[in-house]
Amino acid sequence: MVSLQGVDPDRPKDNQDACYVAELPDGRLQAVVLDGHGKKGHVVSGALKAFLPDLLTEQLASGKHDIPTAMRMAFMASDATLREKGVGQSAWASGAAALAAVVERGATWHIDVACAGDCHAWLLEKVEGRWRGSSISQASSCERERDRLEAAGARVSKGILWAGPIGVAMSRALGDLALRPFGLLCEPELQEISGQNEAFLCL
State how far the Cα of 51 lies from the Cα of 155, in Å rounded to an integer: 32
For the chain, the first-to-last Cα distance in angstroms comes to 10
Tell me: the pLDDT tens digits for 80-96? 898 887 788 899 999 99
**Of 168, 175, 190, nearest to 96 (Cα)?**
175
State how far the Cα of 61 lies from the Cα of 2, in Å rounded to an integer: 29
What integer pLDDT is reported at residue 98 of this predicted model?
97
DSSP letters for 17-84: EEEEEEE-TTS-EEEEEEEEESTTHHHHHHHHHHHHHHHHHHHHHT-SS-HHHHHHHHHHHHHHHHHH
**pLDDT above 80 for 15:** yes
What CA–CA distances, in Å, run from 99 to 8, 12, 174, 195? Answer: 24, 26, 10, 21
- Quick one: what percent of the chain has pLDDT higher than 70? 98
Q: Which amino acid is at 180?
A: R
What integer pLDDT is reported at residue 199 of this predicted model?
94
What integer pLDDT is reported at residue 9 of this predicted model?
77
**pLDDT above 80 for 5:** no
When mean pLDDT is compared across 4-13, 56-65, 98-107, the lowest value belongs to 4-13
State how far the Cα of 135 lies from the Cα of 111, in Å rounded to an integer: 12
pTM of the model: 0.91
CA quadruple 179, 181, 182, 188: dihedral sign: positive
Tell me: the pLDDT tens digits for 32-71? 999 999 999 999 999 999 999 999 999 988 888 899 999 9
The per-residue pLDDT of the chain, averaged, comes to 91
